[in-house]
Chain A
Amino acid sequence: MLRVRGLSLRYPNGKLALSDFDLTVTAGEFVVVLGGNGSGKTTLLRCVTRTVKPSAGEIWLDNVDLCALEGEKLRRARLALSMIWQHPSLVRRRCVLSNVASGALGRHFTLRTAFGGLPRSELEAARVRLAEVGLAELADQRASTLSGGQAQRVAIARALAQRPQVLLADEPVASLDPEAAEEIMRLLQRLARTERIAVVCVLHQVELAYAYADRVVGIRDGRMVFDLPRGQVSREAVHRLYLPEAA
């Protein structure tokens, strides 16, 4: 499904943000990436989405190497990837339903969608997506009125409207209270299982990784430290990810 091979990113100032990184995530798998601040977790996701261009390596999405694509071809290939962030990034003045349906815009380029309209079929599908994340009753509410947890669930519904094969989540629970954070993690885990979506989730909360991940990947200084099934990841190994440089 998603295969990352020898991925490296060196910034123009010479700093190596990612170094020879390998990762494979299959359909239905829930992988959590752990690491300290500046370890390269978010850079990894940004490279996978091709928001930044890696200096070296390959990103295979099924049989397509994203690193070899540009322009329209890249846009089309990227439709299979969706992303959620720490902040839900909703258009606050639009209703929840429109926000969710806008996730499908990449598949519909018509006069209607070019001028702010949304396909009726996608609006219907968006209602189903909202029901999946448990927010069907909020469809017509403005996004600005939602709580943090609700907004993040709407962002997930929008990501699903894209019908992705891979869902990338960059610290999706960082700004949520523990209850809401658990809710989001349960939802992501369920989506991986039922929708057969490959989920890659960057987290800081080690306990959530132990509770929900199928596999845990440790990253430090842009390098992979471990890639193990949840049960085989020791507390010491995780602890070492967060130790200061000198240690």
Chain B
Amino acid sequence: MNVDLAPPRLRALGNPAWRRALASAMRCVIALLGLAIVVQAFLVVQARPQDLVTGIHGMADLIRRAMPPDFSQLPATLWPALQTVDIALFGTLVGIIIALPLALLAAANMTPSRFAYYAARALIGFTRAVPDLVWALLFVTAVGLGPFPGGLALGVHSVGMLGRLFAETIEQMDMAPIHALELTGARRIQVFSHGIIPSILPSLLGITLYRLDENIRSSLVLGFVGAGGIGFQLLTAMNLFQYQEVSLLLIIIFVIVLGAERISAELRERLS
């Protein structure tokens, strides 16, 4: 004979009707919590949709003045456009060069010591936590206006993103071939170049291409703080109320972003 020795309250929970009621109550609480989160977001951003409706004619006026795009400025925008892409390329390259050795130190399965692990993780976290715009401001102060501080800013910020993703990739790789190479007497750098890099190369390239794509978008904005490229041109045109030039620049930005995204996606697909 089975005797239910559970306290009366627990026995009540075993009742299907009680369980259903409890589940319904929980669902209500979760729904109310979700609603509260959405409402507080609207309050904090001071959302006023009616202003958008009343102010739409201002936007329409701006768009009207930006039309048609001033294609006569096209030759003058090609150089800044190239600068924008090159800032991203330079930044990504700097990021890889610094992030790869850092990732080795920050990967739990490869790090030579706990101190190196935490130091590398902290450095990676710090470079990622500081926004690229702040890095750009810092480097503009250090080396002056132009594309160089932009490249440096993206490079340092990329260290954070690439370092973390590279380290995670290294941590997830199959360690058996690495141990096998270590036992052949290969030195650390040989194990790295003959074992680790070939094993994770597709992942590294995929991550790098994704980062390059992100950097191209970021380099457009960096121009706003004087770090060169098409962003700087865009800011100047807006300040001078040259809206037709602004619309041309926006078209070029659209082409660059879309092109980079497509090329990056295509290459990553081929790698996978």
Question: Residues of A at under 8 Å CB distance from B?
Answer: 49, 51, 75-76, 78-79, 81-83, 85, 87, 89-94, 98, 102-107, 109, 113-116, 155, 158, 162
Contact = CB atoms under 8 A, between A and B. Distances in A.
A106 B185 CA distance: 4
A114 B184 contact: no
Given A85-B180, A89-B179, A115-B193, A105 B185 contact: yes
B176 A87 contact: yes
A192 to B, nearest CB: 20
Interface residues of B, number: 20
Given A89-B179, A102-B181, A105-B181, A114 B201 contact: no
B24 to A, nearest CB: 50
B218 interface: no
A109 B190 contact: yes
Nearest to A106: B185
B8 interface: no
Interface in B156-197: 176-177, 179-181, 183-187, 189-190, 193-195, 197
7 contacts: A89-B180, A91-B195, A105-B181, A105-B186, A105-B194, A106-B186, A114-B190
B176 A51 contact: no
Interface of B: 176-177, 179-181, 183-187, 189-190, 193-195, 197-199, 201-202
The dominant DSSP class at the B interface is helix
Among B184, B190, B194, the most chain A Cβ lie within 10 Å of the Cβ of B184
Nearest to B186: A105
Contacts of B199: 91-93
B194 A93 contact: no
B198 A91 contact: yes
Contacts of A115: 193
Given A113-B190, A114-B190, A114-B193, A89 B185 contact: no
A181 to B, nearest CB: 20
A83 B186 CA distance: 14
B183 A109 contact: no
Contacts of B197: 116
B185 A76 contact: yes
Nearest to B191: A105
Contact of A93 (B185, B193, B201): B201
Residue among A85, A105, A107, A162 with max Cβ neighbours from chain B (10 Å) = A105
Contacts of A98: 194
